[in-house]
Structure 1
């Protein structure tokens, strides 16, 4: 069984749950407005609530906006509202889960759209073996019910998280662009996007181990070398080569410290 605390206001219902495995998480039930001005206020409200507790999150409901043009029949271009919804999901580091059993969740008989979805934080997704959304048959509504299938609980798996400190590495964006262009998958746009994101996640994990797994050792080594160079300067030993080397060490140390500062700032969840 789970302990549950609920709060409701406006278009948001918040539930705090404590499951039988003794881990706390929050669920937000959302009903999105259809006016862009009100949507922006909703994203700000959800971001504010999200920042209050450093726990796993799951958001679900009718967001009343699509994520990509392919999520609406006959819709061929992005809109400002779609871009703002994308920024909201990106800024909160939420995962848009794949939908099984259909491409759309709403229809009035003429237009088909994917308005309903579950969005989860990586720390929530890490508790389960496999997660997907399943579209169910509709009976008396213009919305298709969706089921969040978690496929069993799994403990101990570390979740993937984009590290902002990666952006401080020279050539990072170009490296990701080359990886993304090299991925070749077939299927619907949703399946292709999901497959590419999974492949990118694995490449980023491997690259992170190579570049950042020993960042504390790099910091210690650079500080020791800097201290040694400055000690030689105090003793009167100086040369053009030493000056150049000291400049290189200082530049490298600055990059390492910036990476660590960026990482800790992200972990603090400061907005």
Structure 2
């Protein structure tokens, strides 16, 4: 391992025959991370021992963010192997089980890219994806973008892998989304009703609904920032106060003041945990499991992979140039689809007209008339009742549950 001591600090924490752990610090950006470098053994028994050692280390780090990378000498499924026996081995099953138990999220590289091969020809050639990166721990407030890549061939049987940790390019404009946990706030429905009545909009009914929703959206953003607050900060604060109460009880015993304070803090903590569970359930988009059974960890783990995968780090323009700057990526994406969807400017207009001639019309005249016919109130109600209450049917960010819980607009 090589690093610049002027910019990077490294302190070794543990060292074993097949892995080592340490803490890396970037002095300039005040970034500190736990890292584990792995060189996986070949024997299954030794692999299981190493996986257990690393799992115990991760558990001891108490939810700190940890990067795990190296040569694991194992694959997760047969798509990560070409050539050789096609049977799923015991080592593969153990490796996948360890990943799930440890709550690891893989930092994706090029899909189906092999990092090792035996350098043989023909049917004797075997290639596998043995090298990779994982991230574990609390990713709620992790402010960095992770990019994993495979470096050019080094002459060895392994391709080197590289992990880039990119600083946040600044605040991104996120679309508004009505948070289900807001509904657990006392009198929130009454507050929404007052806001709705205060919003004066003139025009047709649909015009008033759309514009009143815009007004409520702005009020909710301000209310969330100034009154509701960050539940994760509140959770940390309550936990810290509970520790202080417990210390006081250990020193001088329980008295009435401490008893009441502890009871108050425990109720507040229970309320925050309920909101947190709703928050992660909404983020996870899991619809088959309900909140209320302490499923926060499950919902959180469902969100982790998407946070790591849903990153556009590079895009290729129409001119063949690769763009990595986030602002240029956004501009290129908007320009690309604007040109395609703009019929008058699209360079594909002639091609589209030619293609349309060869697409058969599958809808009969009756079907077409049915699609364009006026819809009845009963059909609208039936469609609404079939929708998931937590889903937003339009870009305004308000879920079906929002409309069901509030009175019909006037």
**Could you say whether these structures have the same fold, taking a TM-score greater than 0.5 normalized by the shorter chain as the test?**
yes
**SS at 2:93 equivalent:** helix
Mark the CA change 1:105 to 1:11 in structure 2 (over 3 Å): closer, same or farther.
Answer: same
Q: Count residues with an aligned counterpart.
A: 177
In the alignment, structure 1 residue 5 sits paired with structure 2 residue 11: yes
User: Which region of structure 1 is more displaced relative to structure 2, 54-63 or 75-84?
Assistant: 75-84
In the alignment, structure 1 residue 77 sits paired with structure 2 residue 87: yes
Q: Is the 8 A contact 2:281 2:296 kept in 1?
A: no
Q: CA deviation at 1:141?
A: 0.9
- Select which of 118, 133, 139 maps to 1:118: 133
- Select which of 205, 208, 213 maps to 2:284: 205
Mark the CA change 1:101 to 1:94 in structure 2 (over 3 Å): closer, same or farther.
Answer: closer
- Select which of 131, 145, 148 maps to 2:163: 148
Q: CA deviation at 1:27?
A: 0.3
| Structure 2: unaligned runs, 5 residues or longer | 1-6, 120-124, 173-279, 301-410
- Map of 2:146 onto structure 1: 131
Mark the CA change 1:24 to 1:151 in structure 2 (over 3 Å): closer, same or farther.
Answer: closer
Name the CA distance, whole Å, in 2 between partners of 1:51 and 1:62. 22
Q: Is the 8 A contact 2:24 2:32 kept in 1?
A: yes
Q: Is the 8 A contact 1:30 1:59 kept in 2?
A: yes
- Map of 1:50 onto structure 2: 58
Q: Is the 8 A contact 1:4 1:18 kept in 2?
A: yes
- Map of 1:220 onto structure 2: none
Q: Is the 8 A contact 1:13 1:29 kept in 2?
A: yes
Name the CA distance, whole Å, in 2 between partners of 1:101 and 1:207. 25
Mark the CA change 1:136 to 1:101 in structure 2 (over 3 Å): closer, same or farther.
Answer: farther
Mark the CA change 1:87 to 1:207 in structure 2 (over 3 Å): closer, same or farther.
Answer: closer
**SS at 1:66 equivalent:** coil
Q: CA deviation at 1:263?
A: 5.0
- Map of 1:35 onto structure 2: 43
Mark the CA change 1:142 to 1:203 in structure 2 (over 3 Å): closer, same or farther.
Answer: farther
Query: What's the Cα RMSD here?
Result: 3.5
| Structure 1: unaligned runs, 5 residues or longer | 158-200, 213-255
Name the CA distance, whole Å, in 2 between partners of 1:98 and 1:149. 12
Q: Is the 8 A contact 2:154 2:160 kept in 1?
A: no
Name the CA distance, whole Å, in 2 between partners of 1:202 and 1:105. 36
- Map of 1:64 onto structure 2: 73
In the alignment, structure 1 residue 14 sits paired with structure 2 residue 29: no
Higher-Rg structure is 2
Name the CA distance, whole Å, in 1 between partners of 2:296 and 2:114. 38
Mark the CA change 1:2 to 1:123 in structure 2 (over 3 Å): closer, same or farther.
Answer: farther
**SS at 2:69 equivalent:** strand
- Map of 1:174 onto structure 2: none
Name the CA distance, whole Å, in 2 between partners of 1:155 and 1:127. 14
- Map of 1:91 onto structure 2: 101
Name the CA distance, whole Å, in 2 between partners of 1:100 and 1:10. 30
Name the CA distance, whole Å, in 2 between partners of 1:113 and 1:71. 6
- Map of 2:194 onto structure 1: none
Q: Deviations over 1:89-133 (max 9, x none)?
A: 111111112113871001112211111111112635963554332
TM alignment of 1:190-201, pairs within 5 A: none
Q: CA deviation at 1:85?
A: 0.3
Q: Deviations over 1:135-161 (max 9, x none)?
A: 11122211101111334337999xxxx
The structure whose RCO (Cα within 8 Å, separation 6+) is larger is: 1
**SS at 2:54 equivalent:** helix
